[in-house]
């Protein structure tokens, strides 16, 4: 197995620091092949325990980075060597900065029609040299799916950001891997909501003490039910260490 790859409960991760992850992104962007970037957090690792098809899809990621302090804690306990979390939204920011300098193009797919439009506008304001080739909301039925792929293929963006939540976004990126005419597709969860201004990222202090997840639960009570999986994840980590 590749030295840079570790597995946490069967879910693949690349053991990269920020710089190595970015180098890998550049490599993926410049090769003539479709690539996928995933950013699993504890919730995703737990989903993959029950959904083996999802686990297999995650294993197909060409760059898989740990999003969430829970993964880093698990890695420390299990001595996997993942030292630092690399939030998907921050990787997206580095990619946007690069696209702005290198005049690369993007397409945004996901969130509501209103939010994705606002996100596109705000990205363009901060990064005027990025070519936003298009955007589309993430609420469509199966019948529309191929039409959306066609729309993306017509404009051939370098990078496709897919923000439809897990596991939907990764499954979508994988399902259309053979027909999507983009270089890199990246699953970015709630990032379009953040770019639209509809959702605020946690203040720096929360991020610094690794409590961004807690802030997200507090500010969005709908996430409380989802957060129940976090203690289950930690228990699984502790039990597996004993085992």
Nearest CA-CA partner of 156 in 133, 126, 179: 133
What is the footprint of ligand UDP within residues 131-160 (CB under 6 A)? 138-139
By beta-carbon proximity to ligand UDP, the closer residue of 65 and 104 is 65
Q: Counting contacts by CB under 6 A, is residue 165 touching ligand UDP?
A: yes
- Residues ≥6 apart with Cβ < 8 Å to 84: 17, 18, 72
Q: How is residue 206 written in tokens?
A: 């929360």
Contact between residue 177 and residue 29 where contact means Cβ atoms under 8 Å apart: no
Q: Counting contacts by CB under 6 A, is residue 166 touching ligand UDP?
A: yes
* Residue from 160, 163, 173, 184 binding ligand UDP (CB under 6 A): 163
Stretch that binds ligand UDP, among 126-134, 148-156, 190-198, 229-237 (CB under 6 A): 190-198
Q: How is residue 117 written in tokens?
A: 């439009």
Q: Counting contacts by CB under 6 A, is residue 61 touching ligand UDP?
A: no
Nearest CA-CA partner of 181 in 141, 135, 148, 136: 148
User: How many residues at the interface with ligand UDP, by CB under 6 A?
Assistant: 14
Q: Going residue by residue from 64 to 103, which x/- string records binding to ligand UDP, judged by CB under 6 A?
A: ----------------------------------------
What is the footprint of ligand UDP within residues 1-40 (CB under 6 A)? none
* Residue from 110, 134, 157, 167 binding ligand UDP (CB under 6 A): 110
By beta-carbon proximity to ligand UDP, the closer residue of 104 and 216 is 216
Stretch that binds ligand UDP, among 11-19, 58-66, 104-112, 206-214 (CB under 6 A): 104-112
Q: How is residue 241 written in tokens?
A: 């260490």
* Residue from 193, 213, 230, 237 binding ligand UDP (CB under 6 A): 193
Partners of 187 in beta bridges = 162
- Residues ≥6 apart with Cβ < 8 Å to 168: 138
Nearest CA-CA partner of 49 in 30, 18, 69, 74: 74
Nearest CA-CA partner of 193 in 85, 125, 117: 117
CA 18 to centroid of chain Cα atoms = 15
How far apart are alpha carbons 100 and 110 in whole angstroms? 21
Return the sign of the alpha-carbon dihedral for residues 139, 147, 197, 209: positive
By beta-carbon proximity to ligand UDP, the closer residue of 168 and 171 is 168
By beta-carbon proximity to ligand UDP, the closer residue of 20 and 211 is 211
* Residue from 69, 86, 192, 237 binding ligand UDP (CB under 6 A): 192
Q: Counting contacts by CB under 6 A, is residue 111 touching ligand UDP?
A: yes
Contacts with ligand UDP, residue ranges (CB under 6 A): 110-112, 138-139, 163-166, 168, 189-190, 192-193
């Amino acid at each position: 197995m590749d030295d840079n790859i570790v597995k946490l409960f069967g879910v693949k991760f690349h053991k990269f620091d920020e710089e190595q992850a970015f180098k890998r992104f550049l490599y993926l962007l410049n090769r003539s092949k479709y690539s996928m970037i995933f950013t699993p957090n504890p919730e995703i690792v737990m989903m993959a325990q029950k959904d083996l098809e999802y686990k297999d899809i995650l294993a197909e990621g060409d760059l898989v980075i740990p999003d969430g302090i829970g993964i880093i804690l698990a890695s420390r306990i299990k001595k996997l060597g993942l030292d630092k979390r690399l939030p998907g939204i921050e990787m997206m920011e580095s990619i946007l900065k690069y696209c702005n300098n290198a005049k690369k193009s993007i397409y945004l797919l996901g969130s509501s029609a209103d939010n994705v439009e606002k996100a596109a506008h705000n990205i363009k304001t901060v990064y005027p040299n990025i070519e936003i080739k298009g955007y589309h909301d993430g609420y469509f039925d199966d019948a529309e799916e191929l039409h959306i792929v066609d729309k993306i293929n017509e404009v051939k963006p370098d990078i496709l950001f897919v923000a439809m939540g897990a596991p939907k976004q990764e499954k979508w990126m994988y399902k259309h891997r053979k027909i999507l005419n983009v270089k890199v597709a990246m699953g970015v969860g709630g990032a379009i909501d953040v770019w639209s201004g509809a959702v605020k990222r946690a203040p720096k202090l929360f991020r610094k003490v690794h409590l961004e997840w807690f802030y997200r639960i507090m500010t969005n009570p709908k996430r409380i039910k989802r957060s129940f999986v976090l203690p289950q994840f930690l228990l699984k980590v502790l039990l597996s260490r004993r085992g």
